[in-house]
């Protein structure tokens, strides 16, 4: 069996990383136009670097929860049985990897990677984003930005993701509001190809009606129970 799992901020909520659109979510406290667009970075790079430095600090103190661990177990056991788990996340945290998932596709980039805004070189970096940092590839400063896909930029690995989705037997969406495209459209694409679709969330998402199986509750409880059933 080939399972395509899409995760969003809800899978990391119980690890203490804030979601975006829930009550008290990140976008209720910050204007995304200021901190999550190329134009915002051009206007005020210091504000954008401070925002992502705070997120890097939060991530350093976070740990994977039972949902991340269950998905790592599903990957290991499906692979051992000749199946496949394709784990695509909108999250920029590395909690899936820290839980033991071996292959994670970060369609919105990674917080612990810095990108040079001049030459687009990327490098692993959990330190502080600073204007003075010289790019290891081109040597220029003033260009350090997080390797995170901002609004108005194209998500990463889209050809590979579309290919994996078309080959799946089951599409599962976990902890995402279903309001940010292209990820929000995956369920409609899956259903159009005759692929069964399952939603796991605290509450029905914006496109809950498209799914044919739904489980509601905290990811740390619902995901391990669902994995247990899948492996039986
Ligand atoms: P949102 O904040 O929009 O949605 C979080 C979803 O998680 C909601 O549907 C909640 O109901 C659900 N949720 C919250 N706590 C949960 C829990 N404990 N267990 C299960 N579900 C829970 O986050 P995303 O949909 O991931 O992009 O947001 C998508 C993108 O929008 C993000 O990747 C980010 C953001 O702007 C960029 O920054 C480019």
**Average pLDDT taken over every residue of the chain:** 97
Q: DSSP state, 10?
A: G
| 214 DSSP 8-state letter | E
Give the per-residue pLDDT at 82. 97
Torsion sign, CA atoms 186, 189, 193, 198: positive
Q: Of 6, 10, 37, 95, which is best to mutate to test ligand 1, by the most ligand atoms within 8 angstroms of its C-beta?
A: 10
* Percent of the chain's residues with pLDDT above 70: 100
Residue 201 parent element (H or E)? strand 196-201
Report the 10 Å Cβ neighbour count for 65: 22
Kindly give the interhelix angle for 219-231 and 66-80, rounded to the nearest 10 degrees. Answer: 20
The DSSP-derived string for 113-126 is: EEEETTT--EEE--
State the Cα–Cα distance between residues 201 and 104, nearest whole angstrom: 20
DSSP class per residue in 65-107 = -HHHHHHHHHHHHHHHTT-EEEEEES--S-HHHHHT-S-EEET
Residue of minimum CA distance from atom 8 in ligand 1: 177
Ligand 1, atom 36, lies closest to the CA of 20
- Residue ranges of alpha helices (H) inside 94-185 are 95-99, 158-167
- Best substitution site from 175, 181, 185, 223 to test ligand 1's pocket, by max atoms within 8 Å of Cβ? 175
Domains and CATH numbers, the chain: 1-16+64-108+155-232 (3.40.50.1220), 18-61+110-148 (3.30.1600.10)
Q: Say how far apart CA 207 and CA 191 lie, in whole Å.
A: 12
Enter the DSSP assignment of 210: G
Residue of 228, 221, 213 whose CA lies nearest to 13: 221
What's the pLDDT score for residue 27?
95
Indicate which residue of 68, 96, 106, 108 is catalytic: 108
**pLDDT confidence band for 100 (50 / 70 / 90):** very high
- The span from the CA of 70 to the CA of 72, in Å, is 5
Note if 118 is an active site residue. no
pTM of this prediction?
0.97
Give the pLDDT mean for 111-124.
98
- Mean pLDDT value across residues 105-131: 98
Query: What confidence category does residue 116 fall into, taking pLDDT thresholds of 50, 70 and 90?
Result: very high
pLDDT at 72: 98
Structure confidence by residue, pLDDT tens digits, 152-204: 999 999 999 999 999 999 999 999 999 999 999 999 999 999 999 999 999 99
* pLDDT > 90 fraction of the chain, expressed in percent and rounded: 99
Ligand 1: lining residues by beta carbon, under 6 Å: 8-10, 13-14, 19-22, 25, 36, 90, 108, 149-151, 175-177, 179-180, 201-203, 205, 218-219
> Which of 101, 110, 92 minimizes the C-alpha distance to 8?
92
Q: Could you tell me if 60 and 126 are in contact, meaning their C-beta atoms sit under 8 angstroms apart?
A: yes
pLDDT for 103: 97
Chain segment 47-85, per-residue pLDDT in tens: 999 999 999 999 999 999 999 999 999 999 999 999 999
d(CA 226, CA 60): 28
Per-residue pLDDT of 11-24, as tens digits, reads 999 999 999 999 89
Omega of the bond prior to 98 within 30 degrees of 0, cis? no
């Amino acid at each position: 069996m080939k399972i395509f799992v899409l995760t969003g901020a809800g899978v990391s909520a119980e690890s203490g990383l804030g979601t975006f659109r829930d009550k008290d979510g990140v976008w209720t406290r910050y204007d995304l136009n200021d901190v999550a667009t190329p134009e915002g970075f051009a206007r005020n790079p210091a504000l954008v670097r401070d925002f992502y430095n705070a997120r890097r600090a939060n991530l350093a103190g976070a740990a994977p929860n039972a949902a991340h661990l269950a998905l790592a177990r599903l990957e290991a056991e499906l692979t051992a049985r000749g199946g496949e788990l394709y784990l695509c996340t909108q999250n920029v945290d590395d909690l899936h990897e820290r839980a033991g998932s071996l292959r994670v596709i970060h369609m919105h980039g990674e917080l612990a990677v810095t990108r040079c805004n001049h030459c687009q070189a990327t490098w692993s970096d959990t330190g502080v984003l600073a204007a003075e940092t010289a790019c290891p590839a081109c040597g220029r400063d003033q260009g350090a930005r997080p390797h995170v896909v901002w609004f108005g930029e194209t998500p990463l690995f889209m050809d590979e993701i579309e290919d994996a989705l078309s080959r799946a037997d089951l599409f599962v969406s976990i902890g995402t509001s279903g309001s940010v495209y292209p990820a929000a459209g995956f369920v409609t694409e899956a259903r159009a190809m005759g692929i069964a679709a399952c939603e796991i969330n605290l509450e029905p998402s914006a496109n809950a009606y498209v799914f044919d199986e739904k489980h509601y509750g905290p990811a740390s409880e619902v995901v391990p129970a669902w994995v247990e059933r899948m492996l039986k």
